[in-house]
Each structure stands twice: as structure tokens, then as C-alpha cells.
Amino acid sequence: MEILAYGVQTDERPLLDAAFAGRHPLRMLDVFLTRDTAPLADGFPVVSSSVNDELDGVVLARLAAGGTKLVTQRSTGFNNIDLAAARDLGLTVARVSHYSPHAVAEHAWALALAVNRRLLRAASRTREFDFRLDGLLGRDVHGMTVGVIGTGKIGECFARIAHGFGTELLGWDVAPNPACRELGLQYVEKDELLERSDLVSLHVPLLPDTRHLIDAAALARMKDDAILVNSSRGGLVDSAALVETLRSGRLAGVGLDVYEEETGVFFTDRSVHGVADDVLARLMTFPHVLVTSHQAYFTRTAVGQIIAATVRNVEDFAAGRTGENTLVPAAGAAG
């Protein structure tokens, strides 16, 4: 069963090659799946997509017309896929239901620590042999109040690290996690969490109800010297409101691994032509804002698990089975 993988990163290639060797023919592309690139999948029964590919109704219809039967996405999130359209077209859709939560939680803490201790500015200075400490004053994490919005597997890992630092833990979620309570985390209303926390980290999925969860009103509730970290989905934060908050001199630091309009920008080289997104460009001018390119998941452990799950998705489809990763099953597939 031939597979075409879109949006493959350089470091993914040898791992994908090794995983599919002797199983199914695999072709890898570094371009993303869009309306323009969808025809490249003609004749491929399986398409493997990345989180920043476009899989709207038009793209899915083009894939189906070209003979694609299975779309298996190499991510947990699937808000970029029109599942209703896929179902109507008879396409099977699968994802990766889980992978190492430590990868994302550790990166979230890397962002938090970097902006707190002004590491980006410090590293830039010392490369030019400027060893002054002006403007580099940070805070002890020990003793901070840390707010965890979303206490699932990743949020729990983030909370465990926070507990190790010796912080007071607050949490907000629709379903409290007993393991987090055992760490001493106190569940409170979102507004109270925002008002009391010195550091707020987001670990919820992007749903209609969570879009712009952190909007102008939420940002106004945060402490002037609070730190905000988002390693989940860009749409959780109203980026324009965040820019206005920073322009007013509020927030001690912001760490973003995701951005609400990242599709077509993240995972690409824009060093020559820059970006046309004025909000993103403005965010990156603030010295206490650190933006990384959706790399929180990008560890050898997590990527290996994502690829292994992708192989299982293809094998399940070939055998007519469904599994925990199946979002839209094939007609007549066994459970």
C-alpha cells in the first residue's frame, strides 16, 4: 500500500524510512498539503499529513478523487481536518491519540525558564562579549504560584515539574485529575487562577469553547509581572490582545510554541522574505517574548511514538480494523 507523507521534517526522514521499511512503499515530501499540492497524492491510497496541512472539504475531495482512501495525521490535534467532509467522501481518518507528554511539558518549562531568566537576551549579549547584567533580573520559580489550565496527561507532567520546583499549584479543567490533586494542586475557577498565578501554562485542546480562552479580559486579570506559556494550540490565545497587553508594559514574559495563524509559516524558512503577519512580527519584537516553531513535541522519543502509531494506523486500515486512533472509520471496519 503506497503512502505519501506531506510536511516531513529533515529529522523525521530516517525515522519514517526505518519504520516503513519492508512494510509499505513510502514517498516523503517537505511541502505541505494544500489545495495546490493535493494533486501530488494521485494514485496514493494513503496520505500521511502533518498538523499544519490543510485538509478542508476541497482538499479532501481532491484526495478522494485521486484514489486516496486513508488520511493518517502525525499529530494528536486534528482541528485542521474537516471530519464531516471526510465521512461524506468515504475517507478513513486516523491520528495519533497520544505520545510522550513529557516532551511538551518539558518544552513548556524550557520556555518559562528562558523568559523568566532572560536567556535569549543574555545569550545574544554574550555572543558579542557584552557581559553586563542590566535588564536580566529574573525571579525564583521556587515559591511561585503556578496555574495549569488543562490538567490532562501533559498538564499533569507540567504540574509534576512545577511541584519539583516547590511551587503552589492551581488548576482549571472540566474534569479534575486525581494525580494532580495528590501533588497539592488546588482546582479553582479560571478567573481566580489568572488573578493569583505568577506563571500560567496552557494545556487544553483547541475547541470552539476554548478558542481565545486567553482574550483581552483574561489577560487583564493576570498579574502585571506574570508569565504566560502556550505550548498547546495557537488559537487558545487572542494574539492581537496579547500584543496590546505587552505594549502597555504588562506581563514579565511570554513563551509561545504555537501561534493561531502559524499554518504556512511555521515549519518553513522565512529568513529571506520575512513574514506578512504583522501581529506575529510585532510579538517577536518584544525582548521578553520567546517564540519557537511548534517544536514542543519534537523529541526523538515523541516522534518515534508518533511514527509507530502512524504505522499501526496503516496496518489497521489494511486489515479492516479500527483502533483508538481512528477518527472516521471505514465502512464495515471491525473494531
C-alpha separations of 185 from 24, 142, 178 in Å: 47, 15, 9
Predicted local distance difference test score (pLDDT) of residue 46: 98
Residue 13, all three cell numbers: 526522514
What does the angle CA 295 – CA 16 – CA 330 come to, to the nearest 5 degrees?
A: 95
Question: pLDDT per residue over 217-241, tens digit each?
Answer: 999 999 999 999 999 999 999 999 9
pLDDT band at 274 (very low <50, low <70, confident <90, very high): confident
Predicted local distance difference test score (pLDDT) of residue 182: 98
Question: pLDDT per residue over 278-310, tens digit each?
Answer: 999 999 999 999 999 999 999 999 999 999 999
The count of other CB atoms within 10 Å of the CB of residue 300 is: 11
Catalytic residue IDs = 233, 262
Predicted local distance difference test score (pLDDT) of residue 333: 66
Mean pLDDT of the chain: 95
Q: Are 240 and 215 in contact (CB under 8 A)?
A: no
Which domains are present in the chain? 3-99+299-328 (3.40.50.720), 101-291 (3.40.50.720)
Instruction: State the Cα–Cα distance between residues 17 and 12, nearest whole angstrom.
Output: 9
Q: In terms of DSSP bridges, do strands 326-328 and 92-94 run parallel, antiparallel, or are they unpaired?
A: antiparallel
